[in-house]
Amino acid sequence: MEQTKTIAQAARGLHGTVAIPGDKSISHRSVMFSALGSTPVHITNFLHAQDCLSTAACMQALGAAVTFESDTELTVCGHGLHGLQEPSSIIDAGNSGTTLRLMMGILAPQPFLTTFTGDASLHKRPMGRVIKPLTQMGAKIYGRVQNTKLPITVVPAGRRLSGMVYESPVASAQVKSAILLAGMYADAPTTVVEPFTSRDHTERMLEAFGVYTEKEGTAVTIRPVGSFTAPEAIEVPGDISSAAYWLVAGAIVPGSSLLLKNVGVNPTRTGILDVLRAMGAHIALQNERVSGGEAAADIRVEASVLHGTSFGAEIMPRLIDEIPVIAVAALFAEGDTVITGAGELRVKETDRLQAIADEFNKLAPGSVEAGADSLVIHGGTKVQHASCFSYDDHRMAMSLAILGTAGAGVALERPECVNISYPAFYRTLQDLQQ
């Protein structure tokens, strides 16, 4: 396969079983939290992709022992909650906003200086929404462009951080997690109140390390923590954000039937299941179970006749990463789909609202209208072959590939960005068409 362009061919049907790669959010946290413990943690089904490898490299730079037994299996051991070490050089977060934002929360209370850099895309992404509350707790964090962008330096605060109640203007798991992680080292309880409940992987995994949070409505509170009790093992469930492409492909490519194995179905992440079912998709959960506090299941999806739907801000924290591929499903549905409250997509790896409109309209002219925080997708628009750009955004690249597979094919420039979260994506897509 070419490294600068790949062509997704129109498919007559997708069939088979897909082993979903490990959840990206949980993979990040499994390495970070294990590095704060003092006993070895064996992690399986780790997502071996660039973003998660950036986290592993960061924790190594901070003194943790990280040993890979295979691409998806590793052991991590740190020196205790207060045992991180000053890095010998600048830490590179790569393309990973999760790595950078959560690490700022962990490092803000530390007694040493740390400077972060990242790739060109991460340098453009605003970090002020994390830096602001951490600064209110007493952290000293400095970046360029009004203290919001890389490179960013975290300087010792000189005292314990102050616990606080923070009314977050956005429902963001990354913002919430950074504050809670800093709150572990604070002098009093720390509470984050969100407008809607964001994904709760941090709270669930903290429990696996003996740290409990208190939840009341959309508020989460953490108390100062003295030590971690690391579990011996963590099994990472499959990532529903990666499964999303096959959920949509299986529903919109005529004659398809797919079984997706070991998918994480944490209720703060399953918005895509709710939306696809509301559109008429044939989706069934099988073999439901719980592992390490995280719900998982196998999911069967079959070709369906879809119709348009509407959803907005209340469900957005449960499916924000899946909006590009949900827009693909909407393009093949009957009638219009209206998505509102999606302004967060303007500050992802690219401006995803504008990217969806620009690229989808190349394949289906006049199909998408983008507003300040919204999309209107006109289903049933005739789809043609076209050349599209990935914007070096893994979720745009995979969504466009699924669109081309369900339509008339697509020539995709800069496709290799899928390595950020799903290196085997194109190979899996080809295998399902056999």
Q: Considering only CA atoms, which of 327, 276, 274 is closest in space to residue 306? A: 276
The owner of tokens 């081309």 is 404
Which secondary-structure segment (H or E) carries 75?
strand 73-77
Q: Any bridge partners for residue 18, and if so which? A: 260
- B/e letters for 6-32, b = 16+ CB within 10 Å, e = fewer, are bebeebeebbeebebbbbbbbbbbbbb
By the 8 A CB rule, do 342 and 320 touch?
Answer: yes
The owner of tokens 């295979």 is 70
CA–chain centroid gap for 423, Å, is 15
- The CA-atom distances, in angstroms, between 284 and each of 9, 19, 247, 302 are 27, 16, 11, 9
What value, to the nearest 5°, has the Cα angle with vertex 40 and ends 37 and 44? 110
Rounded Cα gap, residues 404 and 385, in angstroms: 7
Direct distance between the N- and C-terminal alpha carbons of the chain, in angstroms, rounded to an integer: 17
Rounded Cα gap, residues 82 and 157, in angstroms: 15
By the 8 A CB rule, do 140 and 104 touch?
Answer: no
Active site residue 321: yes
Rounded Cα gap, residues 385 and 362, in angstroms: 8
Rounded Cα gap, residues 86 and 89, in angstroms: 9
Rounded Cα gap, residues 347 and 308, in angstroms: 26
What value, to the nearest 5°, has the Cα angle with vertex 120 and ends 389 and 339? 50
**Please, is 346 exposed, middle or buried when counting C-beta atoms within 10 Å of its C-beta (0-12, 13-18, 19+)?**
middle
Active-site pick, 298, 321, 392, 393: 321
Active site members: 321
